[in-house]
Structure 1
Amino acid sequence: MQNKNVLNICLPDNFELFTDKVIERGWVGDTGKNRREIAGGISKMEAHILATIITQNNVKKSVETGVANGISTLAITQAIALNQGRHYGIDPVQFQEHQGVALTLLEQHQLLENFTLCHGPTHIEAPKLLDKNERFELVFIDGMHTFDYKFIDSFYGDLLLDVGGFLVFHDLLLPSVKKLFRFIKAQNKYRVILTPELQPSLYRKGRFTAAAFIKRKPYWYFWLNGFCNLLVLQKISNTEPPWNFFNNF
């Protein structure tokens, strides 16, 4: 029996992620226009994890914070398009800092019609989505990495996310994300989905490294254990706590 708390990477037959080749070539954009080397972003494995969540759960609506070079945007939008869905990206600097490379990347792969850019910061754009009663089944957070912005992304992401949906963080080894995870864990609204490791004994390794994560072990501790750089949470409750609720984190 498959453990529902463990994600097994398995994409549909004859479905190949465009991100594999894009990451291999190492650049995005158009020559003479906005071409640039890929700096940062998700890995091939992480792209496959995001696509697996979408295809296995028939996700039709998703939103991410921090579009940047568009690698995660491409992976999510391609998988969403398979379900005839739509992906939203919140990014205040897509044109100023990134010269629109994410949109170029989507256009090159005929996926632009399945994507909506919300050009602005989360605290401006997310309330607009709430006003329109937009609901999502996947929220991917990879914007500003300071704790305050991560908290804002998470707060609005939770408001936009349906019960049963997935809240996914990139860069889980950053102190801001680790601190935020402890806050979310204290609210009892999400369960952790273990992601595949690069070595065997997934469940044992997941428990071991998750315990290390919570106890604030140093970075090398995680790398030695092959811990994936994505934190995948599934929303299990939408219940609002009492007005004076607080759990220490």
Structure 2
Amino acid sequence: MKTTLVIAACLISFHCIAQSKINLQLKVQLDSILQTDQGIRAINDTETSEKQKDSLAVFFGQPKEVLIKQFWNYAHKIDSANMIKVEKIISQYGYPGKTLVGEPANLAVFYVVQHAGKIPKFYPLIEEAGKKGELPFMYVAMMLDRKRLQEHKEQVYGTQVYGETFTDPKTGKKRFLHYVVPIQDAANVNKRRKEAGFDSTVEANAKRLGVVYKPYTYQQIEDIKSGKVSLD
């Protein structure tokens, strides 16, 4: 009886693989792209252990101290190279979602677009993928927030933080303002975050990113920089 069940299970598994629409060659390519995109950022993440950083240094073929010191140079080169690959993939397949490449390979194009500065061009594609269930909607939410940040508009889900240096007009000294980008209807942001699939509040997410959450408006930020309102 057990043998019959095992054979039946194997036949079902084989049938599922045979019927799968997963493009394995494309999946491998996207897995590699995702690994480089996330790997270079992990090297600069305070939550990455030294052992993990050592492994990443081997992967990238550079001492971790060099990768950390020249992080933005390496990240820019990787992002640019990945974007060239991704644009070719999109031209051939559209958005490669979970139906085509499985998970987490379906996140690769999202991250590359998010990091390579091509959001205005590709946001509609990302949004469509989210609506079709090919990409978890919270990633669409993250890209929408970054898109609105770049347009100097209020974000919707509170995923983006920003930091800028300004000169205090009262003291003439340089000050640094690190804040969660102003949020549209901030009172209900955590409700929207939950509906979008986030498992953290805007306060917890800000803390993870090293910011104490304050529901600033753009006008309040300008008032702080002009000296009308004290930062302290």
Flag whether TM exceeds 0.5 (same fold). no
The structure number with the bigger radius of gyration is 2
Structure with bigger strand share is 1
Larger RCO (CA within 8 A; separation ≥ 6): 1
Higher helix share: 2
| TM-score (normalizing by structure 1) | 0.25
Give the alignment's TM-score, normalised by structure 2: 0.26
